[in-house]
Structure 1
Amino acid sequence: MRVFVAILPPPEVVDQLDIFLAPRRDALADRGQWRWTRSEHLHITLAFIPDLDGWREEALIEAGEEWAARQSPLGLRLKGAGAFPDPGSARVLWAGIEEKAEGSADADPSVDEGSASVLPGWAKGLRAVANHAGARVDGTRFHPHLTLARSVGRPGPAGHLLQSLDTLVSPAWQVQDLVLMASHLGEGPRRTPRYEVRHRWVLGAPPVG
């Protein structure tokens, strides 16, 4: 089973992002250069497990609950944009992720000077959790982002488009939980993946059982 652990942005953030992207998608529609991420597929991947044995899923869920119980909610917002591997030969367009200062989602948007970023620690911890449960985890270097679009065919220059996308600033939200999501390749519309939430871990909640 192909699965990943992710943060799902709330509906109000997805709605605003859709409004922001609509004119940019429309302007490029006749070129067919980019395949834009469907709204229900928007997420921030923390750990990717390309092939999870079904019998290991329960162990992964239990270990994840223990890990999540030690974490606290985190304020995030989408801000800015970029491309992988680089703007001159882009395969992926992404929205940047900004961590919020401790407090409510309406607090000062800047991260406290000198404070450590939380998301890389979460990614490292969740990969360790998955390894402990016997799952083989993708070891690609973690770069917090939300995928907006993928190139169709060969990669190409995206500098002009990124200048437009870089004005993105979403409402802030508090991450209260993480999901274990299964990706069923080719089972969605136009042979896109179909996503299935397998489990939801609530941050700071005592483990079940």
Structure 2
Amino acid sequence: MSGEAGRRALRVRRGPERDAQAELPPPIRASKPKSPVKPNPKGGQPSDPPRERVLRLFFAVPLPADLRAELVAAQRKLTDNWRRVEAEQLHLTLAYLPGVAHSRVPELQALGRRLASSTPFVQLGLRGTGYHPNVGSPRVWFVKVEGAGLSELATAFQTKLAAAGFECEGAFQPHVTLARKKGPAPRVPPVTFAQTWTAQNFALIHTFLPRDKSGPVYDTVSQFALNAQLAVAALAAPEPSAPTTSLQTPPEEHHG
């Protein structure tokens, strides 16, 4: 596959309904081996070798089709000065990496496989909508996401990426972006959701802005299935017994 047909194939977006781990070809052609530095024929210093391409990548949890339909219905409340995120692009970002050398993409794929193999399914739920920034003129409309084990998964990403020398941008804020403002627009009243789902996979995604600047394009590089056996083991595990000694502080003080 090559040329325009290859590029179109890479733009196929993968949905969360696919549970099996899929290793897709990276959205960028493999970089050629660097040529040795050649002397300048006119004399002087040798010419510099070409710079390696830097990519914007992120790890994210995709949303199932039924939840995407609910969010698309909420997007209809917006005026035309809001640019709605397309249904197939709705996602929950776990870690954003704005400057990754193309040659290091395999390292991220390997890291994703290791994390997925040690992580059970995660129960998640949509909550209410909000704006960023919340004061003044907001630029982003989003819906909050909650779930046991979600913060731990994001923290594991941040820790392992930092240990491997990757720089993540921004603190983890569990949300799904619904729209970005492109001009003066009024706010809509808050919308609340009660939908829940079981996250069974996450993906490594390459994002870039096309020449027409119509909005970011997302290309799935790899998908990673979470460990179903760990999820079954967690359900089968007995409930912990009550402590035999009294606590020094009220139990509710141990929760954030």
- Into which bin does the TM-score normalised by the smaller protein fall? 0.7 to 0.9
Partner of 1:201: 224
**Distance in 1, Cα, partners of 2:154 & 2:216:** 23
Gaps of 5+ in 2: 1-54, 230-256
Partner of 2:62: 8
* 1:191 and 2:222 are equivalent in the alignment: no
SS in 2 for 1:64: helix
Q: Pick 1 or 2: higher relative contact order, CA cutoff 8 A, min separation 6.
A: 1
* 1:148 and 2:178 are equivalent in the alignment: yes
Partner of 1:119: 150
**Distance in 2, Cα, partners of 1:192 & 1:166:** 24
* 1:35 and 2:106 are equivalent in the alignment: no
Report how far residue 181 of structure 1 moved. 0.4
SS in 2 for 1:77: strand
- Is the CA contact 1:7–1:44 (under 8 Å) kept in the aligned structure 2? yes
For residues 139-175 of structure 1, give each alpha carbon's deviation from its aligned partner in whole angstroms, at most 9, with x where no partner exists: x122110011112247x763xx1x2x423x1532110
**Distance in 2, Cα, partners of 1:89 & 1:119:** 30
- Give the TM-score, by structure 1 length: 0.75
Report how far residue 79 of structure 1 moved. 1.6
**Distance in 1, Cα, partners of 2:119 & 2:177:** 25
**Distance in 2, Cα, partners of 1:47 & 1:186:** 22
**Corresponding residue pairs, total:** 175
Return the index of the structure with the highest Cα Rg.
2
For residues 53-80 of structure 1, give each alpha carbon's deviation from its aligned partner in whole angstroms, at most 9, with x where no partner exists: 1111111211221122111101112121
For residues 101-133 of structure 1, give each alpha carbon's deviation from its aligned partner in whole angstroms, at most 9, with x where no partner exists: xxxxxxxxxxxxxxxx42222212112222233
Partner of 1:51: 99
Code of the residue aligned with 1:135 in structure 2: it is F
**Distance in 1, Cα, partners of 2:228 & 2:222:** 14
Report how far residue 177 of structure 1 moved. 0.5
- Is the CA contact 2:132–2:140 (under 8 Å) kept in the aligned structure 1? yes
* 1:61 and 2:109 are equivalent in the alignment: yes
Code of the residue aligned with 2:110 in structure 1: it is E
* 1:166 and 2:191 are equivalent in the alignment: yes
Report how far residue 205 of structure 1 moved. 6.4
Identity %: 29
* 1:137 and 2:159 are equivalent in the alignment: no
**Distance in 1, Cα, partners of 2:126 & 2:106:** 32
Gaps of 5+ in 1: 100-116
Q: RMSD of aligned C-alpha atoms?
A: 2.2
- Give the TM-score, by structure 2 length: 0.62
**Distance in 1, Cα, partners of 2:216 & 2:203:** 17
**Distance in 1, Cα, partners of 2:228 & 2:208:** 29
Partner of 2:35: none
